[in-house]
């Protein structure tokens, strides 16, 4: 092989190998990474702007539902696993910016016999032009897709925060309900003891015991169900926070103000606040660019370059080369049809999501207004029952009321208090869902992976 041709061949091989990435093995974890307590969690919320510096969640005091939601965003194992999704979107954008490599051809024919006087040499270099034509649309599509992944990630963070906040509300309500139910159970046990004593003395018949035993069985059944639900909610919350299932901490009593003002305006502006709607819009934008790229892809495959050759008679020639496909059978109709169908599907999905969001908000508002009225009535009934129980205790102390009637008043007051706790729990859950549906009271930027990058 002539020295010049050997040089170019060696150069091509070295250039190709120099751009290759080396392989490194990535080992899987060998053990669980659950934290034993809040002190072992990531509690630092990264800055989201010059006016919002990093801050650390204080765990020395009972945590509010909002603080628990932020801790879930920072520590939820599923959110941490989203790094791969974001990395894939960034890799897709990088791939879209790259042009195909030029094609090089080298040929050498050694002269063995015949009238020739030299060996033949052929070399050519060509670049695909069609990829350059569609490059701009492909980059815009990949950029929109990467931004869509960011918006989807933010929406997942909001959903994790919503679930954690709801669990905090449920756990607080269950604490109060369990406390009230246990008080009622103790009252019934005391009354059963006194009735049994009266039966032993012959002052009552055994029939007086039956309704009390039924009430005790109902209270014990309720306590078992409440305790099981309480344990399940704690374990679910620990799972969202990346804690061991036995971890416990103090939760502050949830406090909710009135409904947000200007609800109609908030619903109208919903697409500008909801990350999931933003993600669907970005997906639609990416599909628009895919349609554009598919239409530009009708441009036939076309490569331009140059060639150099010398034959066995030592005649040297050089000149441009053009290679193109004849668009007889395939004019990229399939990709055009597919990209248009995908765009139409995304448009319909966006409309369906928007309709569902607005309907959900309207239903939540109606439920909250109904529950607010129920809560007023329940609190009035609970207050009246509590006042009657206080009066009954005074009458009993003065000897004007028997023990059975006193306990009936007290258990009624406790039942009314349980009703109030149940309605407050439902209102708290609906308020948290409404805040997410409206896109309020939650971080406007992703914080899970931002915090991971700062550590």
**Mind listing the pLDDT tens digit for each residue in 172-186?**
999 999 999 999 999
Cα angle 60-64-66, degrees, rounded to a multiple of 5: 125
Distance CA 41, CA 243 (A): 8
Residue 432: closest CA among 62, 69, 43, 58:
69
Residue 245, φ and ψ in degrees, nearest 5: -60, -15
Distance CA 127, CA 4 (A): 22
**Can you spell out the DSSP letters for 22-73?**
PP---PPP-S---BSSGGGS--EEPP-BTTB--EE---SSPBPHHHHHHHHH
Structural domains in the chain?
A: 63-97+129-297+332-444 (1.20.1600.10), 102-128+299-331 (no CATH)
Which stretches does DSSP call E strand in 266-375?
A: 302-310, 316-324
Element (H, E) at 109: strand 103-109
Distance CA 35, CA 413 (A): 42
Model confidence at 21, in pLDDT bands (50, 70, 90)?
low
**Mind listing the pLDDT tens digit for each residue in 114-157?**
777 788 888 888 888 878 888 888 888 888 888 888 888 889 99
Would you state the pLDDT for residue 9? 54
Residue 187, φ and ψ in degrees, nearest 5: -60, -45
**Mind listing the pLDDT tens digit for each residue in 53-72?**
788 999 999 999 999 999 99
**Mind listing the pLDDT tens digit for each residue in 320-353?**
888 777 777 777 788 888 888 988 998 999 999 9
**Mind listing the pLDDT tens digit for each residue in 95-111?**
888 888 888 888 888 87
C-beta of residue 141 within 8 angstroms of C-beta of residue 293: yes
C-beta of residue 178 within 8 angstroms of C-beta of residue 230: yes
C-beta of residue 192 within 8 angstroms of C-beta of residue 213: yes
Distance CA 246, CA 238 (A): 8
Distance CA 171, CA 230 (A): 6
Would you state the pLDDT for residue 3? 53
Would you state the pLDDT for residue 49? 66
**Mind listing the pLDDT tens digit for each residue in 225-268?**
999 999 999 999 999 999 999 999 999 998 888 888 888 889 98
Phi-psi region of 441 (alpha: psi -120 to 50; beta: other; left: phi over 0): left
What are the structure tokens assigned to 83, written together?
């790094």
The pTM for the full model equals: 0.79
Distance CA 136, CA 288 (A): 13
Q: What is the mean pLDDT of residues 18-35?
A: 72
Beta carbons within 8 Å of 378's beta carbon, 6+ residues apart: 416, 419, 420, 423
Helix, strand, coil % in the chain, rounded to nearest 5: 65, 10, 25
Residue 158: closest CA among 440, 449, 451:
440
Distance CA 39, CA 305 (A): 65
CB burial class (10 A; 0-12, 13-18, 19+) of residue 170? buried
Model confidence at 455, in pLDDT bands (50, 70, 90)?
very low
Cα–Cα distances in Å, from 318 out to 313, 372, 431? 15, 87, 77
């Amino acid at each position: 092989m002539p020295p010049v041709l050997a040089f170019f061949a060696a150069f091509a091989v070295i250039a190709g190998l120099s751009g290759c990435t080396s392989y490194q093995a990535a080992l899987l974890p060998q053990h669980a990474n659950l934290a034993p307590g809040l002190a072992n969690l990531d509690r630092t919320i990264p800055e989201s702007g010059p006016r919002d510096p990093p801050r650390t969640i204080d765990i020395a005091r009972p945590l509010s539902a909002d603080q628990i939601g932020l801790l879930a965003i920072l520590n939820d194992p599923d959110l941490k696993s989203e790094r791969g999704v974001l990395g894939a979107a960034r890799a897709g954008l990088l791939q879209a910016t790259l042009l195909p490599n030029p094609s090089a051809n080298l040929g050498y024919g050694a002269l063995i016999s015949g009238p020739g006087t030299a060996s033949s040499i052929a070399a050519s270099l060509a670049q695909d032009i069609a990829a350059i034509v569609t490059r701009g649309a492909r980059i815009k599509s990949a950029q929109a897709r990467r931004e869509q992944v960011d918006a989807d990630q933010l929406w997942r963070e909001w959903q994790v925060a919503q679930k954690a906040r709801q669990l905090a509300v449920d756990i607080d309500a269950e604490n109060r309900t369990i406390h009230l139910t246990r008080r009622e159970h103790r009252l019934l046990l005391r009354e059963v003891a006194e009735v049994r004593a009266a039966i032993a003395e012959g002052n009552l018949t055994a029939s007086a015991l039956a309704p009390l035993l039924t009430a005790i069985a109902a209270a014990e059944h309720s306590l078992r169900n409440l305790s099981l639900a309480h344990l399940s909610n704690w374990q679910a919350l620990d799972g969202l926070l990346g804690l061991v299932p036995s971890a416990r901490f103090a939760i502050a009593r949830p406090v909710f103000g009135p409904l947000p003002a200007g609800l109609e305006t908030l619903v109208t502006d919903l697409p500008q606040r909801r990350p999931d709607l933003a993600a669907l819009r970005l997906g639609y934008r990416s599909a628009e660019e895919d349609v554009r790229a598919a239409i530009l892809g009708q441009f036939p495959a076309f490569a331009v370059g140059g060639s150099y050759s010398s034959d066995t008679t030592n005649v040297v020639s050089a000149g441009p080369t053009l290679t193109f496909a004849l668009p007889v059978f395939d004019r990229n109709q399939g990709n055009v049809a597919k990209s248009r169908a995908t765009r139409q599907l995304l448009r319909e999905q966006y409309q369906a999501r928007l309709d569902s969001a607005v309907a959900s908000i309207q239903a939540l508002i109606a439920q909250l207004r109904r529950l607010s009225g129920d809560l007023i009535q329940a609190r009035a009934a609970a207050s009246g029952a509590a006042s009657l129980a206080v009066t009954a205790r005074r009458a009993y102390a003065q000897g004007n009321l028997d023990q059975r009637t006193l306990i009936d008043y007290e258990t009624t007051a406790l039942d009314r208090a349980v009703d109030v706790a149940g309605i407050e729990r439902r209102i708290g859950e609906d308020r948290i869902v409404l805040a997410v549906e409206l896109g309020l009271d939650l971080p406007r930027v992703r914080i899970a992976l931002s915090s991971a990058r700062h550590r």
